[in-house]
Amino acid sequence: MEIQEKNKFVEFVKRFGFVIAAALVLLIVGLTFGIMALTNGGQTPSVPVVNKPLEFSMPMQNASILKDFSSTELQENVTLNQWEAHLSIDFASENTAVYSVLDGTIESITSSYLHGNVVTIKHDEGFVSQYSSLGKDLLVKVGDKVNAGQKIGDADSTASGETDMGNHLHFTLSKDGVKVDPNNYLDLQNK
């Protein structure tokens, strides 16, 4: 009787052993993938959402550059009679309208003897643009949302540090708190 039982078992394993092994393998693989899927599902995706690249528009139309950006070469400031690095670009145009170069929010509006009326706009990706030597009639106030290409005011000669250039825009661009060369971002060749 016992021997018969044992033989039955051996017979069963012989017949179905492969099927059982295959079923076990499938179960383990299934569980592994299931757990992996659950673990990934619980995590925030490691790949950040890619925003569409920022498209800069020009701060003035048909503008000519009176003084270019230079971080290493000193340039003469005729008004102040001194040589200084110019971490900005001075633009002038017959059309004095000044436009935001990107979508953003008006961060501050200040006025000083040296820089005149200054509008600072905060943008995405750590960019901040600053428009100095503007006239007093500004079209924006702190907290306003602006679009790229939206007029914010007019170029003037309120920056006493640069009166030799007449009506112009002293434009400064920063990224992550560091002043950067606007030539690398604005399409100044096709202006």
Q: Which residues lie near Zn ion (CB under 5 A)? A: 88, 90, 170
Nearer to Zn ion, 88 or 158 (CB): 88
Nearer to Zn ion, 105 or 157 (CB): 157
In the complex, the smallest distance separating the C-beta of residue 39 from Zn ion, rounded to whole angstroms, is: 55
In the complex, the smallest distance separating the C-beta of residue 104 from Zn ion, rounded to whole angstroms, is: 21
Nearer to Zn ion, 90 or 156 (CB): 90
Residue nearest Zn ion, Cβ-based: 170
In the complex, the smallest distance separating the C-beta of residue 116 from Zn ion, rounded to whole angstroms, is: 11
Q: Per residue in 25-60, is it b (16+ CB within 10 Å) or e — as a string?
A: eeeeeeeeeeeeeeeeeeeeeeeeeeeeeeebbbbb
Nearer to Zn ion, 106 or 159 (CB): 159
In the complex, the smallest distance separating the C-beta of residue 90 from Zn ion, rounded to whole angstroms, is: 4
